Chain A
Amino acid sequence: MKKINTPLVKKEIERLRAGEEVLLSGIIYTARDQAHKRLVEAVNKNKKTPIDLKGMVIYYCGPTPAPRGKIIGSCGPTTSRRMDEFTPALLKKGVIAMIGKGRRLAQVVQAIKKYKAVYFLTYAGCGALLSKYVKKNKPVAYKDLGPEAIHKLEVKDFPLIVGIDAMGRSIL
């Protein structure tokens, strides 16, 4: 199976095809509803975001707390659709990939095409299994949001399926 690493480069992204399975290693950031709202508010006000959005891989995920002795708790994807209204603005600022579950609105597909980004799917409802691919986990921003804080995750061979590729082709 194809292996890819962060930082992801545009050329590599453009070679990915909808339906293709890949294993991702490197740094990804969790962000879900409230974190998206804040990031886009910051972007709209021309304020600095707590994480550099350029080249960022966003994982729509709010993990459970790590049980004692473990790196992370259950950490599967949440429904991507709820992030759709915020996604184009973040792609414009350099976010290069998203990981989630389910379909996206047409405006998101258009933005993925325009900015040559990619939308990955991962095993939905399999948070215990996916926790095995996380090697490091640290909350890095919006910690007051609790389970919705942004976590920096280091992952190794995280299993993904290309849901929407840089040409805007979708398998959903």
Chain B
Amino acid sequence: MRIITAEKIKDAIADLCIEANLVLRRDVLLGLQAAYAKERNKRAKDVLKAITTNAYIARRDKIAICQDTGLPAVFLEIGQGVKISGDLNKAINRGVAEGYKRGSLRNSIISDPLSRGKSGYSPAVIHTEITRGNKLKVTVLPKGFGCENKAQLKMFNPTVKFNEIEEFVVDVVKSAGADACPPYVVGVGIGATADYAMLMAKRALLKPIGCRFNKLEKDLMKKINKLNIGPMGLGGNATCLGVNIETYPTHIAGLPVAVNISCHALRSASRTL
């Protein structure tokens, strides 16, 4: 058994919250640059330029890429040979609060969804997974709510036609329109159960965009980029920077499809302990 202290996990999470919110992911930056090179619409080009300038300023001046620093999702992949000493849940939430305070990030979390109440820095939403080995991988995804609000799930019949699934994904992007900061990155979860499909759709956003493209991802991206939503919703080819799909076996009676859209400021950071 390899022992990792909760304290060490807390420190890592605090650092990752700051890194994710201040330094735009390299694959996203490259995606933006590729979109800029391909874009013909002048206004769309101007907006894409502003977005990359924003990422540069955020990194240089240590200021959040976006004011919506999200309700952070924390993903833990815990090797089964790891023993954690101390209170893990407390450590995660203390790490988030510490990182958010230290990084001048926004306290957007309210303690009760109905009575709302005062906003604070935690708790995060925590997803854990047991893996092989004796390492622990921590990932922080501080996703903003402008785009989280556009997530959708559809429980299809198992006999659904392929193109109906595509239509659904494209429609989710269409209904997000200009509202959720296009160009988007589209996470899709196909299969499993309702809850797990939603988790896969979000987790798909962690995969680097623009690599390991399968045919469905490519086709969807082409269709979405024909919607002419464009950067800021003012028209153009760059409606999405990438489509990432995760799949899982499912039941004979169904075919869940979940879509989780990310704004262009797709932020995440990982560390392996």
Inter-chain contact A102/B233, CB cutoff 8 Å: yes
- Minimum CB–CB distance from A39 to chain B (whole Å) comes to 16
Q: Which residue of A lies closest to B177 (CB)?
A: A103
- Minimum CB–CB distance from B124 to chain A (whole Å) comes to 17
Name the one of B105, B108, B264 contacting A125, with C-beta atoms under 8 angstroms.
B264
Bound form: Cα–Cα A146–B61 in Å: 24
Which of B45-53, B194-202, B215-223, B247-255 lies on the face that meets chain A? B45-53
Bound form: Cα–Cα A64–B62 in Å: 12
- With a cutoff of 8 Å between Cβ atoms, the chain A residues found around residue B58 in the complex are 74, 128
Name the one of A126, A148, A171 contacting B51, with C-beta atoms under 8 angstroms.
A126
Inter-chain contact B54/A125, CB cutoff 8 Å: yes
Name the one of A65, A125, A144, A172 contacting B66, with C-beta atoms under 8 angstroms.
A125
Inter-chain contact A127/B67, CB cutoff 8 Å: yes
- With a cutoff of 8 Å between Cβ atoms, the chain A residues found around residue B67 in the complex are 61-64, 73-76, 78, 127
Most B-side CB within 10 Å, residue of A79, A126, A131: A126
Q: Which residue of A lies closest to B47 (CB)?
A: A123
Inter-chain contact A102/B104, CB cutoff 8 Å: no
Name the one of B106, B181, B233 contacting A147, with C-beta atoms under 8 angstroms.
B106
Bound form: Cα–Cα A76–B65 in Å: 9
Identify whether the interface residues of B are mostly helix, strand, loop, or mixed: loop
Per-residue 0/1 for A53-76: is the Cβ within 8 Å of any B Cβ (1 yes, 0 no)?
000000001111111101001111
Q: How large is the interface on A (under 10, 10 to 19, 20 to 34, 35 or more residues)?
A: 35 or more
In the assembled complex, A81 has its CB within 8 A of some CB on chain B: yes
Per-residue 0/1 for A81-103: is the Cβ within 8 Å of any B Cβ (1 yes, 0 no)?
10000000000000000000111
Bound form: Cα–Cα A148–B47 in Å: 26
In the assembled complex, A34 has its CB within 8 A of some CB on chain B: yes
Identify whether the interface residues of A are mostly helix, strand, loop, or mixed: loop
Bound form: Cα–Cα A129–B57 in Å: 6
- With a cutoff of 8 Å between Cβ atoms, the chain B residues found around residue A34 in the complex are 116
- With a cutoff of 8 Å between Cβ atoms, the chain A residues found around residue B63 in the complex are 64, 67, 70, 73-74, 127-128, 131
Given contacts A79-B179, A123-B54, A128-B58, contact A65 B116 (CB under 8 A): no
Residue tally, chain B, CB below 8 Å to A: 38
In the assembled complex, B263 has its CB within 8 A of some CB on chain A: yes
Inter-chain contact B232/A146, CB cutoff 8 Å: no
In the assembled complex, B234 has its CB within 8 A of some CB on chain A: yes
In the assembled complex, A124 has its CB within 8 A of some CB on chain B: yes
Could you write out 17 A-B pairs with CB less than 8 Å apart?
A: A63-B106, A64-B64, A70-B61, A70-B63, A78-B67, A79-B179, A101-B146, A102-B178, A121-B232, A123-B47, A124-B181, A128-B54, A128-B58, A146-B118, A147-B119, A148-B119, A172-B234
Known: A70-B61, A123-B232. 12 other contacts (CB 8 A): A65-B106, A74-B69, A79-B179, A121-B232, A124-B263, A126-B51, A126-B66, A127-B63, A128-B58, A129-B50, A129-B57, A144-B118
Q: Which residues of B contact A (CB under 8 A)?
A: 47, 50-51, 53-55, 57-58, 61-69, 104-108, 116, 118-119, 146, 149, 177-181, 232-234, 263-265
Instruction: Identify the 9 closest CB pairs spanning chains A and B, nearest first.
Output: A102-B179, A74-B64, A126-B54, A128-B58, A129-B54, A125-B181, A67-B104, A74-B67, A127-B67
